[in-house]
Amino acid sequence: MRYNLHDLWQKSLKMQFNFWAQSSRNTADALKLLEKSGLFPGAGAAAGEAEAAEEFWNYLAKDHPKPAFGIDKVKIGSKNTDVTETPLKKNPFATLKHFRRDCKRNDPKVLIVPPTSGHYATMMRDTVKGLLPAHEVYVLDWENARDVPQKHGEFGLEEYIDTVREAMDEIGGDVHLIGFSQSTVPVLAAAALNAQDQGKKAPVSMTLMGGPIDTDAAESPVTKFARQKPPDWFEKNVIMRVPEGYKGAGRKVYPGFLQLAGLMSLDAEKHGKNRDRLLAALRSKNTQKSGKIKEFYDEYLAVSDLPAKFYLDTIRDVFQTAALARGKMMHRGVRIDPAAVTDTALFTVSGKKDEIVPPAQTEAAQKLCKKIPDALRKNIVHDKASHYDLGSGKIWKNDILPELTAFIRDAAKARGLTHDAPPKPPARRSKTPKRGGA
């Protein structure tokens, strides 16, 4: 019922605003209603700016569908190379995709496992684009749970770990794993299980970026929230059934709109500043600036429902009990032992300004994987990085990506593998200095 009410409330607000916005003198009233609704605090700040306010509201109220990766070319050295997004293996909850480059290079195979935390895998577009010139890139693209029919059953942490391991099998050969945020726990679990299973091949390397490996190591707003209530409270209060009109009608989910509200509240100041910047750009008709802000929020406001079992498993096993770190996480009756990982190189990456995952939670993986030789370890805590900077933007491109590329090739070399050298980035054209007149 609450999911239905959310849909109805959103449509109702949009209809009311569109009706009132017919008269510019009532646009301010429409924005004040939006502010009172709690859906977007501070919207009333646009009152009196009729045209900008109307565009602002219509942008927020529209449905933000699943974005496309949209990567059809990549520059390798000085050459623009075609890229084809190719599905390799699919189950109802995820599709393994290969970003196939139209070139002949012998580069390391990298499997990116995006988090299932409300946003789509395309939030890691910068990560994919950054790695493509020097790597064969594969991505697990998670489905929106509201679009998965009930007949396909439940999907929890065990199924998530299975999906990662099956993706490694499908890719074959020597794989480098990259997990970000929530996905780091099942990524480490999958690597450990492959190390424990003599019939499986351990990944060559594993990079864990901003992940809650051990939530006992440091408190965060997310951990604090998750530990305030018992597991059954979450099941009763935030789990909803998908309403009619969706393929997954009747399926129990943790709705994406609830996750979005929670994530935005963790960095409310930043989003408030972006709201003001967007309004200012709309008022001044600066389409370049408003377009850049919208480009980020087109991605950020597009949210996906999480399978109920996966959400509840994560609350209990990751945030409440830190089961993997305490040696109590089980998978199909087998206890997961990170100490079984011995020859997989480990790279942990954190941001000192991370508002979601404190560095200590990620760095804990180094202690858990205690049998990895020191020569195969690396840890970075970036002084200026927040959570999403670790895989996107300038900090990712300029500081973290070069370290990761070098780490992956060093790990491959230690395993006795040979690859082409990373292509050199094209030289920047220097600006010709202006000559002053006599």
| Helix residue ranges per DSSP H, 245-286 | 256-266, 268-283
* Domain with 391 in it: 73-226+307-414
CA distance 123 to 83: 18
- Secondary structure of residue 235 in the 3-state scheme: helix
Same domain, 313 and 280: no
Residue 368: which residues within 8 A CB-CB, separation 6 or more? 188, 213, 214, 324, 325, 338, 339
The DSSP code for 285 is T
What is the pairing mode between strands 345-351 and 79-91?
A: unpaired
The DSSP code for 133 is G
Question: Does the residue 211 lie in any domain?
Answer: yes
List, for residues 104-114, the tens digit of each pLDDT value. 999 999 999 99
Same domain, 291 and 174: no
The pLDDT of residue 331 is 98
**What b-and-e string marks burial along 176-197, b requiring 16 or more CB atoms within 10 Å of the CB?**
bbbbbbbbbbbbbbbbbbbbbe
The pLDDT of residue 118 is 74
Same domain, 344 and 202: yes
| Helix residue ranges per DSSP H, 371-421 | 393-395, 401-414
- Retrieve residue 220's tokens: 């965060």
Question: Does the residue 433 lie in any domain?
Answer: no
CA distance 203 to 190: 9
Query: Dihedrals φ, ψ of 23, to 5°?
Result: -110, 120
CATH code (residue 346)? 3.40.50.1820
Same domain, 220 and 295: no
Sequence letter at residue 108:
P
Phi-psi domain of 250 (left: phi exceeds 0; alpha: psi -120 through 50; beta: other): left
Question: Does the residue 280 lie in any domain?
Answer: yes
Angle, helix 359-368 to helix 184-196, in steps of 10 degrees: 0
CA distance 168 to 164: 6
User: Could you tell me if 376 and 407 are in contact, meaning their C-beta atoms sit under 8 angstroms apart?
Assistant: no
The pLDDT of residue 432 is 47
Question: Does the residue 231 lie in any domain?
Answer: no
- Secondary structure of residue 83 in the 3-state scheme: strand
CA distance 53 to 44: 9
Residue 49: which residues within 8 A CB-CB, separation 6 or more? 27, 279, 282, 283
User: Could you tell me if 403 and 134 are in contact, meaning their C-beta atoms sit under 8 angstroms apart?
Assistant: no
CA distance 68 to 426: 27
Residue labelled with tokens 């480098």? 176
Same domain, 194 and 103: yes
Q: Residues 359, 362, 364, 370: is their CA dihedral positive or negative?
A: negative
CA distance 395 to 21: 41
CA distance 390 to 392: 6
Same domain, 220 and 320: yes
CA distance 127 to 393: 9
Same domain, 53 and 82: no
Counting the structural domains of the chain, the total is 2
Same domain, 100 and 202: yes
**What b-and-e string marks burial along 261-273, b requiring 16 or more CB atoms within 10 Å of the CB?**
eebbeebeeebee
Same domain, 343 and 198: yes
Q: Work out the number of other CB atoms within 10 angstroms of the CB of residue 163.
A: 21
Same domain, 196 and 116: yes
The pLDDT of residue 320 is 97
Question: Does the residue 436 lie in any domain?
Answer: no
The pLDDT of residue 5 is 44
Question: Does the residue 351 lie in any domain?
Answer: yes
Among 362, 323, 324, 313, which Cα is nearest to 158's?
313
Question: Does the residue 234 lie in any domain?
Answer: no
Residue 424: which residues within 8 A CB-CB, separation 6 or more? 77
The pLDDT of residue 173 is 80
CA distance 205 to 328: 24
Same domain, 156 and 102: yes
User: Could you tell me if 399 and 389 are in contact, meaning their C-beta atoms sit under 8 angstroms apart?
Assistant: no
Mean pLDDT by 10 residues, the chain (438 residues): 48 40 45 52 49 56 74 94 97 97 97 88 94 98 95 98 97 94 97 92 96 96 91 92 93 80 55 63 68 63 87 96 97 97 97 95 98 98 95 96 97 96 73 43
Question: Does the residue 119 lie in any domain?
Answer: yes
User: Could you tell me if 277 and 178 are in contact, meaning their C-beta atoms sit under 8 angstroms apart?
Assistant: no
CA distance 239 to 182: 19
Residue 172: which residues within 8 A CB-CB, separation 6 or more? none
Same domain, 87 and 45: no
Which runs of E-coded beta strand occur in 374-435?
Answer: 377-382
The pLDDT of residue 152 is 98
